[in-house]
Chain A
Amino acid sequence: AQTVTQSQPEMSVQEAETVTLSCTYDTSENNYYLFWYKQPPSRQMILVIRQEAYKQQNATENRFSVNFQKAAKSFSLKISDSQLGDTAMYFCAFMPRPGSSNTGKLIFGQGTTLQVKP
């Protein structure tokens, strides 16, 4: 079975500092996608960043970057220059590449609640 594990239920960081959220996953697939979603108090799911498993280069989106270690099945999210608006729950998600046996459903971790302190 494919699983996603986020081992940090809660984290906090001072404004302007850097924080890293951890995520590991388990799969026998070779082609897949990984995502980080943000869920603020409004509960809207917002895509933060995505990584395609066949790409060795780590994805970056402004202050957000990932450390993708395919052999270790690890996909951590680094938030630089943390802002108060980054306060939210963050979910790591895995998707096997859509195909005949994979329907493109997302498999989510349990989430990490991040509090950015002023």
Chain B
Amino acid sequence: NAGVMQNPRHLVRRRGQEARLRCSPMKGHSHVYWYRQLPEEGLKFMVYLQKENIIDESGMPKERFSAEFPKEGPSILRIQQVVRGDSAAYFCASSPASGDRLRYEQFFGPGTRLTVL
């Protein structure tokens, strides 16, 4: 059973460009969480999605950032008009669909390191 997959692993963008980060959850997982890690800091929650629904986006900046988790395909975190402050590692985690004991298990992907020039 493959783990959580993220691509690309490294992404370089110039200021003003768009960044698209992809996350494929573990097989059978329908809950996806996105976290951002700024240099020398801990991970900060951004958004929580289930298939075709955004459940909690309280940690996501109101402008330029969006996320989706379509019925088919990976979850996408999209950053429009990137700025240098967006440079960070972005981690995706997935968890199973049902059961409280299962829901608290989050399995992390390897992250995407975004560098904005």
Binding site for B on A (CB under 8 A): 4, 33, 37, 42-47, 50, 91, 95, 97-98, 103-111
Contacts and interface: CB of A to CB of B under 8 A. Distances in A.
Contacts of B113: 43
B72 to A, nearest CB: 23
Q: Which bucket holds chain B's interface residue count? A: 20 to 34
Chain B residues touching A, majority SS: strand
Interface of B: 31, 33, 35, 41-45, 48, 55-56, 59, 89, 91, 93, 95, 100, 103-106, 108, 110-111, 113
Given A97-B100, A98-B100, A103 B56 contact: yes
A37 B35 CA distance: 14
The 5 closest A-B pairs by CB, nearest first: A108-B42, A45-B108, A103-B56, A105-B45, A98-B103
Given A104-B31, A104-B48, A43 B104 contact: no
B4 to A, nearest CB: 10
Contact of A104 (B41, B104, B111): B104
B106 A106 contact: yes
B55 A103 contact: yes
B43 A106 contact: yes
B56 A105 contact: yes
Nearest to B101: A52
Given A105-B59, A108-B35, 5 more contacts: A44-B111, A45-B111, A106-B93, A108-B44, A110-B41
Contacts of B91: 45
A42 B48 contact: no
19 contacts: A4-B42, A33-B104, A43-B89, A43-B113, A45-B91, A45-B93, A45-B108, A45-B111, A95-B104, A97-B104, A98-B100, A105-B33, A106-B45, A108-B35, A108-B43, A108-B44, A110-B41, A110-B42, A111-B42
